[in-house]
Amino acid sequence: MRTVLIIEPDEATRELYQRELGRHFQVIGASNTHDIVEVLQDNKIDIVVLEPASTDGAGWRLLEEMRRSQIGAPAPVVLCSALDERRRGLSLGAVAYLVKPVLPATLRETLDGILQG
């Protein structure tokens, strides 16, 4: 079974995504970027779902660090954000950018398409 890492600060959104994706994937959920490097190094992550927009910009920094240092490589990153910063996200290496609200089924279809493509 493929593993999805969801980094989403909003608990209700994270739980909603985990519940839907958990039917099709092994899911690891996190509310912030702290200790994510360790999670990426200790687990085989097939794809990452990241909300980059946080109060301190930690999500954007994590995305930059993942691409610069190859942490979590070659796991593709899907950004799922309340802010439409598609150009920034794709320029930093994200494979897809979804603007919230995103239905859990839409997120699952996006992940399926990326992992099968």
Domain 3-116 has CATH 3.40.50.720: no
Q: At what angle do helices 104-116 and 11-21 cross, to 10 degrees?
A: 50
**pLDDT value at position 71?**
67
**pLDDT value at position 73?**
64
User: Which portions of the chain are predicted below pLDDT 70?
Assistant: 55, 70-73
Residues 6+ apart with CB under 8 A from 8: 14, 17, 29, 30, 31, 49, 50, 51, 80
DSSP code for 50: E
**pLDDT value at position 100?**
95
**pLDDT value at position 18?**
97
**pLDDT value at position 11?**
94
CA distance 105 to 28: 18
